[in-house]
Structure 1
Amino acid sequence: MRDFIETINSRVVVYDGGMGATLEQFDLSSEDYGGLPGKCHEALVLHRPDVIKGVHESMLEAGADVVETDTFQGSRLKLDEWGLGDHTVEINTRAAQIGREAAGEERFVAGSIGPTGMLPASDDPTLGNISFGKLVEVFTEQARGLIEGGADLIIIETAQDILEVKAAVLGAREAFKETGRTLPIQTSVSLLPQGGKMLLGTDIQAVLTTLSALDVQVIGLNCSTGPGDMRDAIRFLGEHSSVPVHCIPNAGLPIQGPGGETIFPEQPDPLASMLQEFVERYGVTIVGGCCGTTPDHIRAIAERVKGREAPPRPKDAWAAHLSSMMTATPLEQEPRPAMVGERVNSQGSRKAKELLLADDYDGLVQVAEDQVEGGAHLLDVCVALTERQDEADQMREVVKRISLTQPAPIQIDSTEPEVIKTALEQIPGRAIVNSINLEAGRAKADTVIPLARAHGAALIALTIDEEGMAKTADRKVEVAKRIREIACDEHGLDPEVLIFDVLTFTLTTGDEEWRPSAIETIEGIRRVKAELPGVKTSLGVSNVSFGVSPPARAVLNSVFLHHAVDAGL
């Protein structure tokens, strides 16, 4: 019985080559495409399945272990452009069936999901004008057809916008629920040849952070360039990805032929030699070809790498990171601690409140930028206002604009699950959700934790339960252990991204009860770190000195911060 995960964990696997380049060998007419003007390759699934099967068979004969379905443009959004949207499930199902007929029971069929042409993270009035929820629906429909047709895995490929990849992953998982069949997910992004970033500026560190947080099974690169331009990114993935890495390049950068045709110039042997090097030097597990690669390219690749033992992967080498759309940020800074900018916060900043009331989003972006320039590693965003009832809409607008302009990851600060969901669906990277507690029992936590988990977000938890705020170190640890059990043991959240705020209380109340509170907080940090391995801690440090004169406040904050960091903050 074939098992894709078992196979890639044991040996190097070879994918097929480019569908388009191989189809050029066939003398296809407009009738073969169902009378459509132009070449919609997905239409061949319905009108010339023999041709598609022949392409698959030529790749398998050349040595491919995996064939990709002829569904790269198989989403409803793309098929609508050809008038085929109502055939979406049929085309994807039939494509997977054709792949299965060719591959038999020993080799694999990867259900191909390409980009929709939309860029949901962008501010383009046309390309960015689609909701995350709509994209999830589109990808769910396509994935359902691929699953029902017998695909062994889903490959989300040639991605230009990391937010669209997130939607595709969630869509595939929704299809798993609908069909009762769970498949491995392989995610593949395309980097521009100049600069090595995705189209909207996402670097490879952010790619790895965002995708590994989504618990996909394979991460890598395809299309856009030949293997040479992928080298630095592939080296990085090989060193840091805890899941298998793939490299599926074009046959070089395209050039224009004498007749105006597009030519991919890289010959089989040079391409295969470089992929062999990537396997040997960087631990790449899956190799194959994209645009311009033919069965000859696949044969040359297979001769060099097929059957080699799969390289070992580093264990969780990149777990404790967050990401913006642009880049990644370690949760554990050196020196500690990570600093959270809290000025884009309607509850703590009069300026932010005024800007929100005036719909001055450019002003809010400037506040965020000032904090990043001042040393903030993360940006807390809170837009709740008693004067307005559109918190979710404002949150969407603010986090979108910050994501497009600022390199710092976002901390979503809201008590409303629907607002948190809205933010998570708009943030391209790996965010922090701030926060959960057990003050009213666990109902809200049981809603928010799965949201964070589904989007790969980190989560702040306050040590508050039904008895109120935990004041002593013993109580802080007691509540933290209960939350960890719910979040990690029950919901599967990685402890590395569970962050406990053990609460800071003001020392100047005059109440004897609060006199030892700072010491209890410091001890709470120390014990949470010791008794709950892997978790992180956070603190609103300046709360300790509320009401103290400014000169004394600076001293008290510094002393408190020093001891908190020493305890493990």
Structure 2
Amino acid sequence: MKFEDVLGKQVLVLDGAMGTMVQNLELDDAAFGGPAFKMLTDLLVFSRPDDLEGIHLKYLRSGANLIETDTFGASPLRLKEFDFTQIDITDIKAIPQGLDLKKSDYSAITHHLNVEGCRIAKKAIERYKTEPEYDGRPLFVAGSIGPSNYVLSKTEADLNKATWDQIVDNNYLQVKGMIEGGADVLLFETQQDILELKASLIGANKAFAEADKKLPIIAQVTVDGFSKMQIFNTDIHAALVAVEGMGISAFGINCNTGPELMEKTVEKLSRVCSLPISIVPNAGQPVSEDGKTCYKLEPEAMADYVERFVKDFGVSIVGGCCGTTPDHIRALSNRVKALVPSPKKIEKMVYVSGPQEAKPIDSSEALIRIGERLNVRGSKKVREAVERDDEIQMEVLEEVVEEQVKDLGIDIIDVCMDSNIVETEKVLPQAIYELTSDFKGVMCIDSFSVEALQTAIESYPGRPIINSISLEEYEQGVSKLDAVLSLTRQHHPVYVALVNGPEGPGQTADEKYELAAEIVKQAKEKHNVTPDQILMDVNAYPIGSESIEGLNFCAETLKCLPRIKAIHPDLKTSIGVGNLTNGLASKPYMRKVLTSVFLDEARKVGLDCAILNPNHYVPSESLTKSDVELARKVILDRDMTAFEELEQIAQTKKTGVQAKKIDYDDLSLEEGICQKIKDGFKQKQDGVIEKEGGKFPYKDKIVADVAQAIEKHEPLKFISGHLMKAMRELGDAFGRGEVSLPHLLKSADVMRHVMQFLESFMRFQSGVEPGAAIDYKGVVVIGTVYQDVHSIGKDLAKTLLENYGYRVVDLGVQVPLEKFIETARAEKADAIGMSALLVQTSNHMITVARMLTEGKFSIPVLIGGAPVNLRHAG
């Protein structure tokens, strides 16, 4: 029986925690190849295969349908965290023939770990099937694939960065081994960066194509109590939208919290996820008892939650993560084995997504607006920021984004960097990457260059719109449709399709309809791109530009819309309306009236979406009736006398809609500075403040404001009375889930510019010579504890501390316990900070605290990580 045959038809039970079971074996260091490798439990595949088989059997005997391989960290990027030249292979008896662990051939080690890990699990299943208690239920090997410990998405934090190709290859090698080893299904779990997950799925598809065999995929991400993937603030719905069309069979969440904090996310998924849902909680929240981190949620209590998730929210796959045991899995299995996932009520809707939020492609209530201003070809401001001899003025592009998304309420923005001055293939992905660091909208990635579209979509953490495809020839014998879809369809974006053919754009309603029908046909038949992935752009021509007697471009466009909508019920229509009023830039009122009236007329006959300047469109009801009537004559009848009348009226009027935005100039100087910090508002500008005989260079314009503010405030009082208050308000908002971590880091970076200036100025006032040692607020020694290689939380803490003016001595990962204390003494540190992700390694924090007490070294100790809570700290 295949996994796909039972998925969704019965509730399937995943096994429980591998780490907890390995810890209970109480293996010595030799089983791992020495103490430095003790957290690489994947190596037990080579050293203790019988023990692993025993763990799998315990879970099978407890009622599990799927058993996970011991391969969570068995990928090249994870293995490179360990120096295999130092491994002790004395007690590693099952090293595959021909593999030399000490040579540190990470690709080869990856391959063999995954092959053997799957074979061990397969062997356990075959053995269990011979036991009298086997009840005939379907059993599967789930190849476990964890995150790489690197990130692809843009972040202000000092985290390990990887390239798209590195992540693709990382997972390709792991999946290749799993296919050979006999995995039935792949389990991508504990994923924290949606862009990394996208690249990982592409890597899996690469392995499938090579082996000519596709495995079903369960994709699980990790979220907090606000249903967010915390590092990048990705909402669970946005995460789902980003990957649900990329060939996965089920989607869900695992780890980080117990079932009690997952309920909000499970309920949300039940409303929007048409795929089977997988829920794998920890055994509650971790607590500290007698110096050990424990998970206290009893099996039956956990089963209460999970049974309700199945009955109320239609969950199809359940299991256990950290702290769960065979007893937990037995309780789950007993509760759900007779259940069928309840039907979910999912509204049929197409969504696109950005790094933080998902947005519907829904025109039932209003026209879908795509902001066009971030376009080198259409904006002088953008062009001057991009077409430069030195680096792009990214802060200018950020301002254009902010104006459209935050101030004008645009959910989707078009991003076009096409230029004959700069290399679009480099600039477009750079802009996409930089602008998504704290972005709540969705991007429409726009370029004529197919290569630019491909590299840009590999930099985008979500499901974008791609602009555009058409039947026009891209290169000899290849249409733009074929060129773009062949390189991007794996990402499952939505496409803007222009009604253009080999002879050019369609002009009449008949031509537009025929081209649209052929685009829909070819997209589906040749590339399996469905009509609900297409926004059919019906083309706008400048009013009055017709060269054929009696032809009215506006009327032809309006006539074609209902016919194109009838091609398929899921097909939506669009128009790049800016071209309609080409040549009217000096007459903004006329442009606004004609654009608004045309779009309202088009809405009546089936237009769903417009790519536009948001300032050029308002409901016709808000315009003067006589002006609307003149515009209708121009559009419907090609009445050029009415056009001239409207032109004369426009001479006396100014444009209407203006961005509603915070004007920092309307605030007091102090309020403006604080608001800019809270907004993370960057104004890149090199300059020098000359004050009291000193010179203080700066790189952000906010420093000039601060220099003015301390004319009437003592610097220390300004810091305590204003700046710290702003940062406290920001921190409180973060704690309430109102501010994202990316935004917090952005604000901290603005604060860093301010504090660097203030500290330099105060040092100058005190007579400290330039170049002398920096007077930090304090020194903090931080690191991830011994036997733990997880660094993301530690790196985030480092970034924030440095931005608040502390010197951070980063000891890295797998830090020996005594090194924290030795370094703190040597550096005269003000605090020691320790991070851990794993339950067992978090206990090292308590050991360090005891060592400090025994050594009579009094120093604050900061601890953080998933297993840590207030009780643990106490």
Which band: TM-score by shorter chain?
over 0.9
Letter in 1 for 2:309: F
Corresponding residue for residue 74 of structure 1? 74
Are residue 226 (structure 1) and residue 258 (structure 2) matched? yes
Question: Structure 2 matches for 1:187-336, cutoff 5 A?
Answer: 187-193=219-225, 196-259=228-291, 261-314=292-345, 317=347, 319-336=349-366
Post-superposition CA distance 1:75-133 (Å, at most 9, x none): 11111222362411000100000011112275100001100011110335753521111
Preserved contact between residue 136 and residue 170 of structure 1 (Cα < 8 Å):
yes
Corresponding residue for residue 421 of structure 1? 454
Preserved contact between residue 16 and residue 64 of structure 1 (Cα < 8 Å):
yes
Deviation at 1:490, TM superposition (A): 2.0
Are residue 96 (structure 1) and residue 96 (structure 2) matched? no
Preserved contact between residue 192 and residue 229 of structure 2 (Cα < 8 Å):
no
TM-score (norm 2): 0.63
Once residues 393 and 240 of structure 1 are traced to their aligned partners in structure 2, the CA distance between those partners, rounded to angstroms, is 36
Question: Structure 2 matches for 1:500-511, cutoff 5 A?
Answer: 500-509=536-545, 511=547
Corresponding residue for residue 30 of structure 1? 29
Letter in 1 for 2:260: G
Corresponding residue for residue 553 of structure 1? 591
Post-superposition CA distance 1:154-196 (Å, at most 9, x none): 1111010000110111111111111121100110000023564
Are residue 39 (structure 1) and residue 78 (structure 2) matched? no
Preserved contact between residue 499 and residue 535 of structure 1 (Cα < 8 Å):
yes
Q: For 1:377, which of 411, 415, 420 is the aligned residue? A: 411
Distance 1:354 1:476, change over 3 A: same
Deviation at 1:307, TM superposition (A): 3.3
Letter in 2 for 1:557: T
Distance 1:378 1:194, change over 3 A: closer
Distance 1:328 1:73, change over 3 A: same
Letter in 1 for 2:6: T
Corresponding residue for residue 655 of structure 2? none
Letter in 1 for 2:316: T
Once residues 211 and 514 of structure 1 are traced to their aligned partners in structure 2, the CA distance between those partners, rounded to angstroms, is 49
Question: Structure 2 matches for 1:138-153, cutoff 5 A?
Answer: 138-153=170-185
Where structure 2 has 5 or more consecutive residues not aligned to the other structure, the ranges are 85-103, 130-137, 608-874
Corresponding residue for residue 58 of structure 2? 58
Deviation at 1:43, TM superposition (A): 0.4
Deviation at 1:515, TM superposition (A): 4.3
Deviation at 1:47, TM superposition (A): 0.5
Preserved contact between residue 349 and residue 361 of structure 2 (Cα < 8 Å):
no
Once residues 302 and 102 of structure 1 are traced to their aligned partners in structure 2, the CA distance between those partners, rounded to angstroms, is 19
Corresponding residue for residue 346 of structure 1? 376
Once residues 295 and 384 of structure 1 are traced to their aligned partners in structure 2, the CA distance between those partners, rounded to angstroms, is 58
Letter in 1 for 2:358: A
SS in 1 for 2:24: coil
Larger CA deviation: 105-114 vs 190-199:
190-199
Q: For 2:496, which of 435, 457, 460 is the aligned residue? A: 460
SS in 2 for 1:10: coil
Once residues 488 and 246 of structure 2 are traced to their aligned partners in structure 1, the CA distance between those partners, rounded to angstroms, is 10
Corresponding residue for residue 484 of structure 2? 448
Letter in 2 for 1:67: I
Deviation at 1:36, TM superposition (A): 4.7
Once residues 424 and 8 of structure 1 are traced to their aligned partners in structure 2, the CA distance between those partners, rounded to angstroms, is 31
Once residues 321 and 54 of structure 1 are traced to their aligned partners in structure 2, the CA distance between those partners, rounded to angstroms, is 45
Are residue 184 (structure 1) and residue 184 (structure 2) matched? no
Question: Structure 2 matches for 1:379-418, cutoff 5 A?
Answer: 379-388=413-422, 390-418=423-451
Once residues 173 and 329 of structure 1 are traced to their aligned partners in structure 2, the CA distance between those partners, rounded to angstroms, is 27
TM-score (norm 1): 0.96
Are residue 469 (structure 1) and residue 500 (structure 2) matched? no
Once residues 510 and 143 of structure 1 are traced to their aligned partners in structure 2, the CA distance between those partners, rounded to angstroms, is 57
Where structure 1 has 5 or more consecutive residues not aligned to the other structure, the ranges are none
Deviation at 1:344, TM superposition (A): 1.1
Deviation at 1:153, TM superposition (A): 0.6
Letter in 2 for 1:234: V
Deviation at 1:447, TM superposition (A): 2.3
Post-superposition CA distance 1:360-415 (Å, at most 9, x none): 01110111111112122211111122112x22221122111221122111111101
SS in 1 for 2:234: coil
Identity over aligned residues, as a percent? Answer: 35
Once residues 338 and 231 of structure 2 are traced to their aligned partners in structure 1, the CA distance between those partners, rounded to angstroms, is 35
Once residues 172 and 544 of structure 1 are traced to their aligned partners in structure 2, the CA distance between those partners, rounded to angstroms, is 45
What is the aligned residue count?
A: 565
Once residues 282 and 546 of structure 2 are traced to their aligned partners in structure 1, the CA distance between those partners, rounded to angstroms, is 70
Once residues 125 and 232 of structure 2 are traced to their aligned partners in structure 1, the CA distance between those partners, rounded to angstroms, is 36
Deviation at 1:510, TM superposition (A): 6.4
Letter in 1 for 2:359: T
Distance 1:528 1:510, change over 3 A: closer
Letter in 2 for 1:238: S
Deviation at 1:319, TM superposition (A): 4.5
Corresponding residue for residue 564 of structure 1? 602
Once residues 323 and 604 of structure 2 are traced to their aligned partners in structure 1, the CA distance between those partners, rounded to angstroms, is 57
Preserved contact between residue 186 and residue 216 of structure 1 (Cα < 8 Å):
yes
Q: Which has the larger radius of gyration?
A: 2
Distance 1:27 1:510, change over 3 A: closer
- Larger relative CO (CA 8 A, sep 6+): 1 or 2? 1
Preserved contact between residue 233 and residue 356 of structure 2 (Cα < 8 Å):
yes
Preserved contact between residue 175 and residue 204 of structure 2 (Cα < 8 Å):
yes
SS in 2 for 1:42: helix
Post-superposition CA distance 1:426-447 (Å, at most 9, x none): 1000001100111216433212
Larger CA deviation: 195-204 vs 360-369:
195-204
Distance 1:395 1:503, change over 3 A: same
Deviation at 1:314, TM superposition (A): 5.0
Distance 1:407 1:249, change over 3 A: same
Larger CA deviation: 301-310 vs 361-370:
301-310
Letter in 2 for 1:551: Y
Once residues 4 and 403 of structure 2 are traced to their aligned partners in structure 1, the CA distance between those partners, rounded to angstroms, is 46
Deviation at 1:267, TM superposition (A): 1.2
Once residues 168 and 530 of structure 2 are traced to their aligned partners in structure 1, the CA distance between those partners, rounded to angstroms, is 24
Distance 1:256 1:288, change over 3 A: same
Once residues 193 and 257 of structure 1 are traced to their aligned partners in structure 2, the CA distance between those partners, rounded to angstroms, is 24
Once residues 147 and 314 of structure 1 are traced to their aligned partners in structure 2, the CA distance between those partners, rounded to angstroms, is 35
Once residues 81 and 53 of structure 2 are traced to their aligned partners in structure 1, the CA distance between those partners, rounded to angstroms, is 25
Preserved contact between residue 218 and residue 244 of structure 1 (Cα < 8 Å):
yes
Deviation at 1:35, TM superposition (A): 2.8
Question: Structure 2 matches for 1:516-555, cutoff 5 A?
Answer: 516-548=552-584, 549-555=587-593
Distance 1:489 1:284, change over 3 A: same
Preserved contact between residue 505 and residue 514 of structure 1 (Cα < 8 Å):
no
Preserved contact between residue 472 and residue 480 of structure 2 (Cα < 8 Å):
no
Once residues 268 and 239 of structure 2 are traced to their aligned partners in structure 1, the CA distance between those partners, rounded to angstroms, is 11
Larger CA deviation: 73-82 vs 507-516:
507-516
Once residues 464 and 119 of structure 1 are traced to their aligned partners in structure 2, the CA distance between those partners, rounded to angstroms, is 39
Once residues 266 and 487 of structure 2 are traced to their aligned partners in structure 1, the CA distance between those partners, rounded to angstroms, is 31
Once residues 242 and 69 of structure 2 are traced to their aligned partners in structure 1, the CA distance between those partners, rounded to angstroms, is 26
Deviation at 1:199, TM superposition (A): 2.5
SS in 2 for 1:304: helix
